[in-house]
Amino acid sequence: MTGVKQVRFGVVVFPGSNCDRDTIRSASQASGATVRRIWHKETSLGDVDVVLLPGGFSYGDYLRCGAIARFSPVMRAVTEFAERGGVVLGICNGFQILVESGLLPGALLPNVSRKFICKDVRLRVERGDLPHTRAVKAGTTLKMPIAHGDGNYFADAATLDRLEKNGQVVVRYCDENGEPTPESNPNGSLNNIAGICNEKGNVFGLMPHPDRCSEAVLGNTDGLAVFKSFAL
Amino acid sequence: MKTKIIVTLKSGILDPQGKAVEHALHSLGFNGVRGVRIGKFIELELDGDNAEKGRIDEMCKKLLANPVTEDYKIESPTGK
């Protein structure tokens, strides 16, 4: 552990983002952090170390969730940043934008129940070595809220196989004992997948909301582990 | 020139919306209805270069359909 560094966060705001303020507030709790709000029309990210794509309903979820936001001017800069190894985190709609843009594989389909689901879930952290998860030991379970209508992770068999072999599944829906059971899977995601990373491990997207559980007053601070990880 | 594009879920991908509609049809007494799948219908007005099949294909691949989960069909812009 190298001690705490000062992280410069950039939070991208799309028309229809509604978790940008939660994300900014959560990120600014990582000690010494600075947070820059980046409007989706900007073509440069500025000097940032970590790019956060917040939750919400960018472009009203028209066509498919994230399908239009993925072509916002700022996404070209985000893609270049990610390709250079820059650290990117997509939360909920941010995750949907990352899969639509091809920065992460697969797709997020409507929940099997056809319902918008808003509740706390348990997650088993499979990777504790990413820039986004360094503050958590692999195997730990965290409690986080989900709030989505389209969180059903899908990938074709070959892609799913590759994800599992490469250890790209970062968080999985699980029960109280950390077991990824069918009952603990809220939306029908293949292999109980709640979040994945790219091969290099610098881009991570998840459906649950660490930004909604990073303050004691909210009754849960499990999400803070994610934001603190960036500073380690 | 008007072009119609039909986007459907790839076979094998569960369509919860289709299932719900199928159940609703059953409860209305339309028994014997099976395999309800719901897709999207997109109509475009195109001019000049954009009316070429290759251009429409590109639009579908880039934006209108998600190649991971969806197939698309272009109704011939050359007019039937």
Q: Report pLDDT digits (tens) over A53-71.
A: 999 999 999 999 999 999 9
Q: Choose among A173, A187, A112: nearest CA to B14.
A: A112
Helix, coil or strand: residue A184: helix
In whole angstroms, what is the distance from residue B42 CA to residue B7 CA? Answer: 8
pLDDT averaged over every residue in chain A: 96
| pLDDT the model gives residue A4 | 65
| pLDDT the model gives residue A1 | 46
Q: What is the band of A85 on the pLDDT scale with cuts at 50, 70, 90?
A: very high
Q: Percent of chain A scored above 70 by pLDDT?
A: 98
Test the A interface: residue of B66, B70, B71, B72 with most A CBs within 10 Å? B66
Domain residue ranges of chain B, discontinuous segments joined by +: 2-75
Fold of B2-75: Mth169; Chain: A , (3.30.1280)
Q: What is the band of B49 on the pLDDT scale with cuts at 50, 70, 90?
A: confident
What are the backbone dihedrals phi and psi of residue A37, each rounded to the nearest 5 degrees, phi first? -85, 130
Q: Choose among A216, A192, A210: nearest CA to A142.
A: A210
**Mean pLDDT score, A209-226:** 96
For chain B, say whether A188 makes contact (Cβ under 8 Å): yes
Domain residue ranges of chain A, discontinuous segments joined by +: 8-229
Residues in chain A closer than 8 A to B13 (CB atoms): 109, 154
| pLDDT the model gives residue B77 | 55
Q: What is the band of B52 on the pLDDT scale with cuts at 50, 70, 90?
A: confident
**Amino acid letter at A143?**
K
> CATH homologous superfamily for A8-229?
Class I glutamine amidotransferase (GATase) domain (3.40.50.880)
Q: What is the band of B80 on the pLDDT scale with cuts at 50, 70, 90?
A: very low
